[in-house]
């Protein structure tokens, strides 16, 4: 992307008149070219090649993406939907059957181009405009054609040429979703990843004479390099005037100069894209009229450079958070047995280090994969947070089957070499064990993790992935220490018959994990889903036990039993999704008088001058359940809340809930638990610690009552 310098502040009225004249001439020239030169363009070819990428097969009731891929020739550029001071936005005229609907186009983050005092919003490289394609539920199977008449403007620094093209694609409407899934449609992922991520936190703007001031909630630790705010509505702001960025804590304040005699600001609000850096990362925001504080600490030309030192602290927090995840009951047995395997007689220093590195690599790869998937889903517009995988019934069922198999392994029902829990393992086995440990260790955000994971959802992709890697390193750190420090290995108990007993005792926490997953399967998918998952888990345990019998008899694994195991897994993959009940889990009985969280109810309670305790939890979150038992579901808390008139709003994030996800994002939290205390009669909400003490909430309620 070509670096351009921002225009200086225009103070001279004569220069302003000259700029208006240049702008008028430029726009008239563009439109004149559009009228006179259009027929010649078709004969001469185009300076921006256009390709329509559509799915081959779609299913009724589902949604896919159509991408218009624009490829400018060297030295040419296209325009964003608001082209800026000069230029013309793209015009799209679709023709499609009634059963197919094509939504509004979504553009990637544009670039700035300043020529002769005119600021343009352009694309100088290959870019894709993405549009959702929706299929009616009653659409008839068969072939359908979508056609597009497109007009766009292609420019260099000196000339502009209007261009047009007629494009079409054939889309087959499938009879069922399975047919569409097997079709092998083009992957729109790379284009979706370049779209600005939606910022669900509320943004406000205020008008002060000739300035529009925006207040954008962003973590103070988020690094900005060369930010720019692109306003979607035209003729409101002076595009070439300098944009001023400053911070007040976690609030980014952006000041834009209004265009003299410009358009009125719509009462419905303003839409914009905030460019975060020169790599094309950005956020899509929706702003409403509200209170915005005056400018705070200014940002430099390469904004936020003084704050780059915050990333090491976030990395340290992610590292510490990952370290604490090792005490979870589903991870501790894996870690402890894997560590004891290094204490066996004859273990070489080299082999111990290889196993430690392989285990760490597995953990870090798993965390990076989960983090990359999370960032990709959010870039595609999905409202998801940390531990999003545990909101899917299929993942819960897979973890349940795995937990049952591990419990049987710990009990000695069978042996298998891939994870290598209690015996000498290969590097491949240690890597697989690391993958497993990380996957089962990441359901919740614990202490130290909240800020790091929350910032990861807004940081540029490289920095965000660095945080996920630090989380994985924290999980792997205990085993790495044992593998690389001989003194630690020497302190481990020596191998002996006691290890068999210890291994069987480790089946207890893993078995409890399996029971918890069975309960979670019932909460998320209903009774039929949970019973079906348990039936498949029992069948797997029986087959594994028969395999263990052959192993103890000195016989090899029977191919028939392996085939039976594969058949059970295939049958489970087809049968379990059918039994899922589309329902929201019922609220758990609570000692407190709780109400379901909603933005409306929170606003009503605050408007009534009541203190509010907003409590966000999930059935799969261990930290949440500990806090509820220790600090929330207590007679002391209930009495204090009743005395102070506290309104308790409980947000259940067990299943995916976009409204709760938006609130978590607003608070800079990647997941649960999250506790926010709102004082009576207004005031900002206070985020409480993720680990609550027995008296935390009662003390907050008493302090609030005393203040009133």
Read off the pLDDT band of 275 (50, 70, 90). very high
Q: By mean pLDDT, which of 26-40, 72-86, 279-293, 330-344 is the weakest?
A: 26-40
Kindly state the DSSP code that residue 390 receives in the 8-state scheme. Answer: G
Read off the pLDDT band of 402 (50, 70, 90). confident
Residue 42's pLDDT is what?
34
Residue 231's pLDDT is what?
95
Residue 458's pLDDT is what?
63
Collect all residues with Cβ–Cβ distance below 8 Å to 142 and sequence separation of at least 6.
172, 173
Q: Where do the domains of the chain lie? A: 13-167, 198-306, 310-579, 594-707
Instruction: Calculate the CA dihedral of residues 348, 350, 353, 357 and round it to 10 degrees.
Output: -130
Per CATH, 13-167 and 594-707 having the same topology is answered no
**How confident is the model over 297-323, as pLDDT tens digits?**
887 543 333 333 467 877 888 888 888
Q: By mean pLDDT, which of 605-619, 632-646, 692-706 is the weakest?
A: 692-706
For domain 13-167, the CATH architecture is Sandwich (2.60)
CA angle 329, 334, 336 (to 5 degrees): 90
Q: By mean pLDDT, which of 93-102, 220-229, 272-281, 458-467 is the weakest?
A: 458-467
Q: How many helices (H) and strands (E) does the chain have?
A: 21, 25
Residue 270 clears pLDDT 90, i.e. is over it: yes
Q: By mean pLDDT, which of 379-393, 403-417, 596-610, 691-705 is the weakest?
A: 379-393
Residue 35's pLDDT is what?
37
Residue 148's pLDDT is what?
92
Please return the burial class of 590, using the count of CB atoms within 10 Å of its CB with bins 0-12, 13-18 and 19+: middle
User: Tokens in use for 396?
Assistant: 């819960």
The whole-chain average pLDDT of the chain stands at: 80
Select from 390, 547, 375 the least CA-distant residue to 468. 375
Residue 689 clears pLDDT 80, i.e. is over it: yes
DSSP secondary structure, 421-472, as one string: SSS---HHHHHHHHHHHHHHH-SS--TTHHHHHHHHTTS-HHHHHHHHHHHH
CATH, domain 198-306, list 3.10.450, 2.60.40, 3.40.50, 3.30.70: 2.60.40
Residue 634 clears pLDDT 80, i.e. is over it: yes
Fold held by 594-707 = Glutaredoxin (3.40.30)
Q: Which residue has the tokens 């991870």?
A: 331
Phi first, then psi: what are they for 551, rounded to 5°? Answer: -65, -45
Q: What is the mean pLDDT of residues 597-623?
A: 85
Residue 705 clears pLDDT 80, i.e. is over it: no
Output 488 or 96, whichever has higher pLDDT. 96
Residue 536's pLDDT is what?
93
Q: By mean pLDDT, which of 289-303, 474-488, 565-579, 674-688 is the weakest?
A: 289-303
Residue 349 clears pLDDT 90, i.e. is over it: no
**How confident is the model over 456-471, as pLDDT tens digits?**
666 677 888 888 899 8
Residue 591 clears pLDDT 50, i.e. is over it: yes
Show the 3-state SS of 555-589: CCCCHHHHHHHHHHHHHHHHHHHHHCCCCCCCCCC
User: Tokens in use for 372?
Assistant: 């990359």
User: Tokens in use for 670?
Assistant: 């990647």
Residue 253's pLDDT is what?
93
Distance from the Cα of residue 455 to its chain's centroid? 11
Residue 19's pLDDT is what?
47
Give the Cα separation of 467 and 469 in Å (integer): 5
Output 674 or 495, whichever has higher pLDDT. 674
| Alpha-carbon distances, residue 582 vs 59, 213, 393, 522, 529 (angstroms) | 20, 44, 10, 12, 11
Show the 3-state SS of 79-140: EEEEEECCCCCCEEEEECCCCEEECCCECCCCEEEEECCEEEEEECCCEEEEEEEEECCCCC
Share of the chain above pLDDT 70, in %: 80
Q: What is the mean pLDDT of residues 405-418?
A: 76
**How confident is the model over 127-137, as pLDDT tens digits?**
999 999 999 98
Read off the pLDDT band of 195 (50, 70, 90). very high
Read off the pLDDT band of 384 (50, 70, 90). low
Residue 393's pLDDT is what?
86
| Alpha-carbon distances, residue 700 vs 32, 371, 542, 636, 641 (angstroms) | 68, 35, 53, 12, 9
- The beta strands (E) that lie in 536-690 are given as 594-596, 612-617, 647-652, 674-678, 686-687
Give the Cα separation of 149 and 46 in Å (integer): 15
């Amino acid at each position: 992307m070509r670096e351009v310098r921002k225009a200086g502040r225009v103070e001279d009225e004569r220069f302003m008149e000259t700029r208006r004249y240049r702008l008028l001439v430029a726009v008239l020239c563009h439109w004149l070219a559009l009228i006179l030169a259009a027929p010649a363009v078709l004969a001469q070819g185009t300076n921006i090649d256009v390709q329509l990428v559509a799915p081959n097969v779609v299913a009724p009731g589902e949604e896919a993406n159509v991408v218009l891929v624009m490829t400018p020739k060297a030295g040419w550029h296209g325009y964003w939907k608001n082209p800026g001071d000069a230029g013309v936005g793209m015009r799209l005229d679709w023709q499609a059957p009634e059963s197919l609907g094509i939504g509004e186009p979504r553009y990637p983050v544009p670039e700035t181009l300043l020529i002769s005092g005119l600021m343009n919003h352009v694309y100088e490289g290959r870019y894709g405009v993405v549009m959702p394609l929706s299929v009616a539920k009653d659409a008839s199977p068969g072939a359908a054609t979508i056609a597009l008449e497109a007009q766009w403007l292609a420019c260099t620094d000196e000339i502009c040429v209007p261009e047009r093209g007629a494009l079409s694609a054939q889309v087959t409407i499938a009879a069922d979703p399975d047919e569409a899934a097997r079709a092998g449609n083009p992957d729109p992922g790379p284009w979706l990843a370049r779209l600005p991520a939606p910022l669900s936190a509320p943004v406000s703007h205020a008008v002060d004479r000739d300035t529009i001031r925006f207040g954008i909630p962003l973590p103070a630790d988020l690094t900005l390099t060369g930010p720019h705010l692109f306003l979607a509505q035209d003729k409101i702001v002076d595009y070439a005037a300098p944009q001023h960025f400053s911070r007040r804590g976690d609030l980014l304040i952006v000041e834009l100069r209004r265009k003299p005699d410009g358009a009125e600001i719509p009462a419905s609000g303003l839409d914009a894209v905030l460019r975060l850096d020169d790599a094309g990362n950005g956020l899509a925001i929706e702003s409403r009229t509200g209170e915005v504080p005056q400018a705070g600490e200014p940002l430099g030309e390469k904004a936020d450079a003084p704050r780059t030192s915050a990333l090491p602290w976030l990395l340290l927090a992610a590292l510490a958070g990952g370290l604490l995840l090792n005490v979870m009951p589903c991870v501790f047995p894996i870690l402890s047995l894997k560590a004891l395997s290094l204490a066996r007689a004859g273990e070489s220093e080299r082999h111990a280090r290889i196993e430690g590195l392989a285990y760490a690599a597995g953990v870090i790869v798993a965390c990076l994969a989960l983090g990359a998937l999370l960032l990709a889903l959010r870039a595609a517009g999905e409202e998801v947070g940390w531990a999003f995988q545990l909101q899917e019934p299929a993942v819960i069922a897979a973890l349940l089957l795995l937990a049952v198999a591990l419990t049987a392994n710990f009990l000695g029902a069978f042996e298998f070499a891939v994870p290598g829990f209690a015996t000498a393992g290969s590097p491949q086995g240690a890597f697989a064990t690391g993958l497993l440990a990380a996957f089962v260790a990441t359901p919740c955000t614990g202490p130290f993790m909240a800020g790091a994971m929350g910032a990861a959802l807004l940081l540029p992709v490289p920095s965000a992935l660095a945080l996920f890697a630090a989380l994985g390193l924290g999980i792997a750190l205990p085993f790495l220490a044992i593998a690389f420090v001989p003194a630690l290995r020497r302190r481990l108990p020596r191998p002996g018959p006691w290890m068999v007993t210890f291994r069987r005792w480790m089946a207890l926490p893993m078995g409890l994990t399996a029971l918890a997953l069975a309960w979670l399967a019932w909460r998320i998918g209903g009774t039929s889903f949970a019973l079906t998952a348990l039936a498949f888990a029992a069948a797997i345990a029986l087959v594994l036990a028969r395999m263990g019998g052959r192993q103890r008899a000195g016989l090899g694994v029977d191919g028939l039993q392996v085939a039976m195991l594969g058949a059970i897994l295939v049958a489970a993959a087809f049968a379990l999704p059918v039994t899922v009940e589309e329902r929201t889990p019922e609220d758990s009985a609570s000692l407190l008088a709780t109400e379901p969280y909603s933005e409306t109810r929170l606003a009503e309670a605050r408007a009534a001058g009541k203190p509010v305790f907003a409590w966000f939890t999930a059935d799969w979150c261990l930290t949440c359940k500990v806090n509820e038992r220790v600090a929330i579901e207590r007679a002391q808390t209930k009495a204090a809340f009743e005395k102070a008139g506290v309104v308790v709003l409980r947000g259940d994030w067990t299943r995916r809930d976009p409204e709760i996800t938006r609130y978590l994002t607003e608070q800079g939290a990647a997941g649960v638990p999250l506790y926010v205390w709102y004082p009576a009669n207004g005031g900002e909400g206070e985020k409480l610690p993720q680990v609550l003490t027995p008296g935390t909430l009662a003390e907050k309620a008493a302090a609030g009552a005393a203040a009133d």
